[in-house]
Amino acid sequence: MSKFLINKYQSLEAYVPGEQPKDMEYVKLNTNESPFPPSQGVLDRISSAEVSKLNLYPDPDCKVLRKKIAELYGFESENVFISNGSDEILSFAFMAFCSEEKGAVFPNISYGFYKVYGDLYGVDYTEAPLKEDFTIDVNDYLNINKTVVIANPNAPTGLSLSVDEIEKIVKSNPDNVVLIDEAYVDFGGKSCIELVKKYENLLVVRTYSKSRSMAGARLGYAFGSKSLIDDLNRIKYSTNPYNINRLTLAAGEAAIDDNDYYMNRCKEIVEIREYSKRRLSELGFDYLDSDTNFIFAKSDKIIGEDYYRRLKENGVLVRHFSNPLISGYVRITVGTREQMDKLFEVTEKLLK
């Protein structure tokens, strides 16, 4: 830390992304990326003609992409916001809708960045404890004078609230923004985006990083009432108007044109997930009933940290969290069938 860093940031605990080691080729099941490449349409759009336009700024309004996303999901462009990864929308939303006066509430076990943004922006936040079975207690979020932030399905548990439960939360908080992070919704979860048409306080955040095989391109989007989207634009145009680069915009547009390709890959991942659950059961693991592209699993035979470490020594990366409430578990991204079989082969060996 330099002597120049201002006081309020000196105690900031930054987010620690999942590791991306380069020392060897791993079977990478640790950051919930898609194991499948982007569609042919995306590969074709990143042509040398597109690259040769990099001397020009991209469209800061992302007009074409907003229109395509709006049409695909039955919205108007004014209800769509585009960002550099969904992390950026979360950052803008914490800046726009949370403060010391307007606190925030999110589950105590959830996406780790919520807490980091809360700290970064000096938000008075509460971490509502999950129930013993790792489900969210809806009562913690009703009639509460705070901005609500919930990942649905939640991470790293993989468990979902129903659309009715989300509606109950949104309806009971007309003076608060309710942000629902649907990063993993395409793997069998139930989306609440239709509620955006009914409630001006609901913001639904999505990403291209998981179901659209574009984690490396950094692209996120959100649906909300025009007024909420205007608020996010106010923040965006006050920080970095050209937040999406030309190549990512082009890739994002092509990916919407190839929607069927992605939805079919999601179905494939769901099938591999169900196969993986069966294999984990055979190996004596317990796991939560995931609606996502990952499985949160534990075994009585090996503690979470040891399992993570020994897998890594054997070329398989999964994610382990040191939080004592979940340290017995590992989070396993659903990869290809071959990647999962490698995981099970190593696991069998370790448990012998």
Residue 150 DSSP class: E
CA 50 – CA 184 distance, rounded (Å):
30
Question: Least distance in Å: CB of 20 to ligand PMP?
Answer: 12
Residue number, 203 or 350, with CB nearest to ligand PMP = 203
Tell me whether strands 220-223 and 294-299 are parallel, antiparallel or unpaired: unpaired
Which residues of this chain interact with ligand PMP, rule CB under 6 A? 85-87, 111, 151, 155, 181, 183, 207, 209, 215, 220
For ligand PMP, the closer of residues 176 and 207 by Cβ is 207
Looking at the Cβ atoms of 143 and 259, the one nearer to ligand PMP is 259
Q: How far is the CB of 236 from ligand PMP (least distance, A)?
A: 15
**Any idea of the CA torsion for 255, 260, 264, 266, to the nearest 10 degrees?**
50
Shortest distance, position 209 Cβ to ligand PMP, whole Å:
3
163 or 215: whose CB is closer to ligand PMP? 215
Q: Enumerate helices (H) and strands (E) in the chain, giving the number of each.
A: 12, 12
Shortest Å distance, C-beta 289 to ligand PMP: 17
Q: How far is the CB of 34 from ligand PMP (least distance, A)?
A: 11
Locate tokens 């979360």: which residue?
Answer: 90
Nearer to ligand PMP, 155 or 288 (CB): 155
69 within 8 A of 93, measured Cβ to Cβ? no
Least distance to ligand PMP from the beta carbon of 215, Å?
6
d(CA 283, CA 13): 37
DSSP lists the bridge partners of residue 317 as 28
- Residue at shortest CB range from ligand PMP: 85
Contact 160, 118 (CB under 8 A): no
> How does DSSP assign 14-53, residue by residue?
---PPP---SS--EE-SS---SSPPPHHHHHHS-HHHHTT
Output 111 or 125, the one with its CB closest to ligand PMP. 111
